[in-house]
Structure 1
């Protein structure tokens, strides 16, 4: 992943120099959100909302093995899954500090459904919950030809709502910066994990379920988005530079079909696609539909 980071940064600079300076992706997103934020029957998208038919070449069976064997059957997972994400936010208050500072609450749900695994009653293998509260500030700094249009800070909790040996969770404080130039946008995000107490014994319900999660999920994330006519391309790179062999990369492409509905493809490679797989390398490809295009 260390090589990928250098390549990613070089790509960012190459795209930023060729990006169309008009029709800012970020300005359009902010305008659309403010226009609909006070409408009572409108939910504002936060992250991308999508549903995908996906293929994972090596599903992680280990978290389910012990319970299955205790019940007397051999655990099995299908390579094929339905993966979907629902992500919305709600503006609590605009202009907290005079003419700036916008406070939001948000919730993201990401689920993995073993729809064809009828032997196991087609279960939801994993569901991740991610509530957060954050404040964004409008900005106009110029950096390397890009406009630093947004700065923000927030708190986020992420967990899979499971129990015992399958429980995963962490809490973070993060900072975020969005830079853009017309058809190109870049979001940088860094975070600090709030420490948890160690478990008194291995199966204790209290204490840290995943003390090494920083090694795999990293401590920063870079997201690049590029518009080519109606097409949208994104690349996400997540890493911890102290553990450069871990981390993750996600690539997406989308194209409008009708109104807000977009054809959406996604490729993921690395660690931490979901909480249950935070320390397992995953390679997944999927195709489906999305309702919004970037970030």
Structure 2
């Protein structure tokens, strides 16, 4: 049965890699490709995190479905979806009289690990991450800034329960490099609470998510996340993407998605267990 489950996992991965031609090709692709280095913020691979033209509901963190694992270990799928929502209508009389209200956002990201090598193909752990934040536009010090509150938990009970609440501040700097851009956006965390069964979470995760993004909207893009915990507990995740269709909108379309991870906390459940190197491949919708 275990070999059948492994075969099922591989077949699912094959279906996943076929999705671009089966599904995305059906979406109209008549928009011109975007270029990095443009002065139009909406044409950057970073999406400038917000634009005046954005709809009330828009992309936030990357969205993907990928599969793979450590050498000799179970094949696991990992998928993530994420969005943000502008709370106040920009055209409302309230915002016109109080313009700063347009900068309030709600965001939500959900990340799951799915074991394709077990008989029942169980979900091993899921992380739920709602956030509430306020943004500030370009200044002489930064290109963009967000600060607010975030919660993360895995929705489990007793000894397997993991959770945390934190305040955060996230500045963004964008550096044009030829036809590409390097975007630096560290996320500084101040922990308010840590769950009963993960009171040492900060020792493994650290207090800064160092995010780096480099690439060209028409070609390869690379996202890197680095965390530095106590006593040399470092974690790194690298996402490499390549477009396989004309973009639908900024950062959104169809992408070959490769992910590398090594360190602590690939899931909330295993925040204090070192894993990796882990390699996964699949389809990205947002990068």
Contact kept, 8 Å, 1:54 with 1:82, in 2: the verdict is yes
Task: Answer whether contact 1:179 1:187 (CA < 8 A) is retained.
Answer: yes
* Cα distance in 2 for residues equivalent to 1:82 and 1:167: 21
1:83 aligned onto 2:78: yes
Give the match for residue 213 of structure 1: 201
2:53 aligned residue: 35
> What whole-Å deviation, never above 9, does each CA across 1:149-179 have from its counterpart, x for those lacking one?
1111111110000111111101011111000
Aligned residues: 232
Match 2:154 to one of 150, 160, 164: 160
Q: Secondary structure at the match of 1:215?
A: helix
Is 1:22–2:37 an aligned residue pair?
Answer: yes
Structure 1 unmatched ranges of 5 or more: 1-19, 59-77, 143-147, 197-206
* Residue pairs, 1:29-68, within 5 angstroms: 29-30=47-48, 34-38=52-56, 43-57=57-71
Aligned-partner SS, 2:241? strand
* TM-aligned CA deviation for residue 101 of structure 1: 6.1
Alignment check: 8 A CA contact 1:184 1:225 kept: yes
**TM-score, normalising length from structure 2?**
0.74
Unaligned stretches of 5+ residues in structure 2 = 1-34, 247-252
Q: Return closer, same or farther for 1:286/1:215 CA change in 2, 3 Å cut-off.
A: same
Partner of 1:5: none
Report Cα offsets for 1:130-162 as digits up to 9, x if no partner. 1111111102325xxxxx211111111100001
Q: Please give the root-mean-square deviation of Cα atoms over the aligned residues, in Å.
A: 2.5
> Residue 227 of structure 1 is aligned with which of 192, 208, 215?
215
Aligned residue in 2 for 1:251: 238
Would the aligned equivalents of 1:247 and 1:272 in 2 still touch at CA under 8 Å? no
Q: 1:274 aligned to 2:274?
A: no
Question: Do the aligned residues in 2 keep the contact of 1:151 with 1:178 (CA within 8 Å)?
Answer: yes
Specify the alignment match of 1:3 in structure 2. Answer: none
C-alpha distance after superposition, 1:174-201 (max 9, x if no partner): 11100002311110111111136xxxxx
User: Are the equivalent residues in 2 in contact too, given 1:101–1:137 (CA < 8 A)?
Assistant: no
Is the 2:107–2:130 Cα contact (8 Å) retained in structure 1?
yes
1:103 pairs with 2:100 = no
